[in-house]
Chains A and B, each alone.
Chain A
């Protein structure tokens, strides 16, 4: 079935270091969304990527969507302790967002 793989599962960084999480699908995605879940919280939307090769930036966060629309990445430059949490990608197959498939997430911890 449709599945979104996300790596790494965990990432521990020193504050100020960069962080990247990767998301892969075996089949072409219609679009992909990224969410952040703080410890004890619920997922919060970060961004949606729709176009092949799309790159979007939000301050220190850079999101990319692959040319084949099968992979995506989230890169954080110079991590801060406020970046702590689990980052999920969620893929949409076909034209409807009804069935948004989440990856297992990458849990980021930042050591001050």
Chain B
């Protein structure tokens, strides 16, 4: 499978715990994006990378969220001290510069 892979598919955690998600983009894609989607809403931009550089981060994003792409390949998204409002589908996408996005299947986070 040469698409965008996300792990895990589902994550259930207790409020206050830290969680980390992983995204493996399509190998030749230099851009990697993180979005969050809740039921009935469109994907909400969180952050994006070009190669290993994090070029933009949503102003709405809490300091509890951090993302890395250390070698310009896979990326991780960490949420510290999770809150119930963090429950959502976390989508990763990759692309070549200024071209269409390919989305992964997402990680569904439930915070109890």
Contact = CB atoms under 8 A, between A and B. Distances in A.
Contacts, number: 55
Interface string A77-112: 000000000001010000011111111110100000
A25 interface: no
B50 A98 contact: yes
Contacts of A97: 31, 95, 97-99
Interface residues of A, number: 22
A88 B43 CA distance: 9
Given A42-B91, A42-B104, A45-B100, A102 B42 contact: yes
A104 B41 contact: yes
A101 B45 CA distance: 7
B26 to A, nearest CB: 13
Q: What DSSP secondary structure best describes chain A's contact surface?
A: strand
Interface of B: 31, 33, 35, 40-45, 48, 50, 55-56, 91, 95, 97-106
Given A41-B105, A97-B99, A98-B56, 19 more contacts: A33-B100, A33-B101, A35-B101, A42-B104, A42-B106, A43-B43, A43-B91, A48-B99, A90-B43, A97-B95, A98-B31, A98-B50, A99-B45, A99-B48, A103-B42, A104-B40, A104-B42, A105-B41, A107-B40
Interface of A: 6, 33, 35, 41-45, 48, 88, 90, 96-105, 107
